[in-house]
Structure 1
Amino acid sequence: MLQNPYISVIINAIIAILFIIGTSLALASLARLIAKLFKATRIQQENTFAGYLFASPWIVGFLIFVVVPLGFSLYWSFTDFRIASKEPINWVGLDNYIRLLTADSSFRASIINTLYLTFLGLPLEMAVALFLAVMLNQKMKGERIFRMAFYLPVILGFNTAVLLCWRLMLNGGTGIINQLIRAVVKAVPPIGWIERALIFVQELFSAFFLGISNQSFTLFNRVLEAGLPAANRVPLWVESPLWSKMSVVLLIVWGCGTMMLIFLAGLNNIPKDYHEAAQVDGAGAWRRFWKISFPLLSPYIFYNLIVGMIAMLQIFEPIFVLYRDN
């Protein structure tokens, strides 16, 4: 009977349920016992038992699927353990980490790219999100429509279809992004000098990071010697290694809707009396923002900073889809 896969699945499910119930009751009872030792009242003990009883399934899952594997991974990182090998495990100390930092060029490149996205992409994303939040905090018609429009990229996410559309838009020759840049420069010629300067600074910055990654600054020296690009130059978002990171930064900034809503919630929580009192004293809009709103937004800034850094470490889909053949 146990050879029937359906019966086996049912039995395993029953065992898992009983295990969760048993461990939950055990943890809840232990928590109540500890509360009793600290001379908690009977009501406090019952509340402790109920709280840990409902939290225990998550705690048990976290211990089994996160803490235990993390512990084994940490231990195996100091050995020569191989998954597909039956040879005995030997302790090698820090050899794996030394080889990873000195001999693995891919790891070094990934660290450099992550630092680039963290120190350039994250501040830009937070700055744009804060700017949009301040704009949407003003009472105006169609406020909800603008909120939905700016949050729409978060709903769409970095799925393959959206990223393929971005790949087409970022095409150096026919992409709509570069066509818009050409149209703006043609309509307002003085902007062309600003565009050329921005292209030069961006390519110089990217060449510097590539030099650190490749341990060769030949490309950096070449960009520096070339100086300002020609007037008809446009960013090669997906065709050049000098622009690959910046195109990912552009996508990161495009998806700043979540940070925007968090900043907007923080702005709504600031008492209006503070701004009214400052306005009576003659403080302008910028001074009120810098002296009142910005300091009171520090918890929200810190939260967005931590969550954003975690997201920078986990980013994968845009890089894989945009540059899968490069």
Structure 2
Amino acid sequence: MTVRNRILVLLAALAVLAGVATAAVLHASARADRRDRPQAGGPTVTSGSVTLTRAGRMVFRNMAWGPHRDELTTVPASDPSGPRTASGVTCLRFHAAAGTGVCLQAVHGPVSDRYRAVILDARLKATAHYDVPGIPSRARVSPSGHFAAWTAFVGGDSYAGTHFSTRTAVVDTRTGKLIPTLESFRIRKDGHAYRAADVNFWGVTFTADDRTFYATLATKGTTYLVRGDLKARTVTTVHTDVECPSLSPDGTRVAYKKRVPGLPKDAPWRLYVLDLRTMRETPLAETRSVDDQAVWKDTHTLVYALPGDYGADLYETSADGTGEPHRISSAAVSPAYVG
């Protein structure tokens, strides 16, 4: 290569690097501009103290534009649309129980983002970090606070289609011992040992015994509710057509989203509740497609997110299928009832 050609190659490379740097700066500037611009007519959000042990509180990710966009904020559970207190801690997905939180975060780089799961104490101080190998999707903490789980997309970015892959991890928050993927667990399907290359897990929900959990298993185009055993490292199929399960506080029912034939491919779900003793399914009053892992506000009420003007709004509906769903908070997602 001649000296002239080498100089031309060097100049071209410098031009590409300059373009990448400029694009990164413009992207960061635009993101900062949106964050600094308060949402017109939106909720009041101010900085303050947020803990995971204050009784009668709801903690969630604030979606309102402004300086507190994406921060964990808190409101009284009795006034979910009231003024918000912001923590300064940002999360994409969040859940908490018994003074322990799990926060799935984006770590912004000059060109691309990476993701991590952060275990939080009652004052939202980080106690541990774990790499998340994809786009965060679901997060849960056990009732005791001793375990946390999260799911990420490692191929594809939506549950609506069939071509996606997930990775679900569980960690003991006391010891830091990590199970990087539930795919290492032995599977019993319909009473028999089962293995397949296309197995996916997502949407963990824990019982109160620090051993048992429920989750979704997908294989060969079918989804299953599975009951897992953290000590035996096994999962057993319980029911078909269950996604993103959420166990009721009394441990007797699972709320979940179910694919219903005839609905659009990009919005295929309806909310149901399954009685674990009788296996009776109850369709809930919410008729819109819910792509979320619902949260039990109490033994009678479910809270979940639907798309809104600023990303998502929170709604609630009765767990017995009666009544009408209604919005309880705008520009909010990933709620947890704490204290």
Range of TM-score over shorter length: under 0.3
More strand per residue: 1 or 2? 2
Q: Which structure has the higher relative contact order (CA within 8 Å, separation 6+)?
A: 1
- TM-score of the superposed pair, with normalisation by structure 1: 0.26
- TM-score of the superposed pair, with normalisation by structure 2: 0.25
More helix per residue: 1 or 2? 1
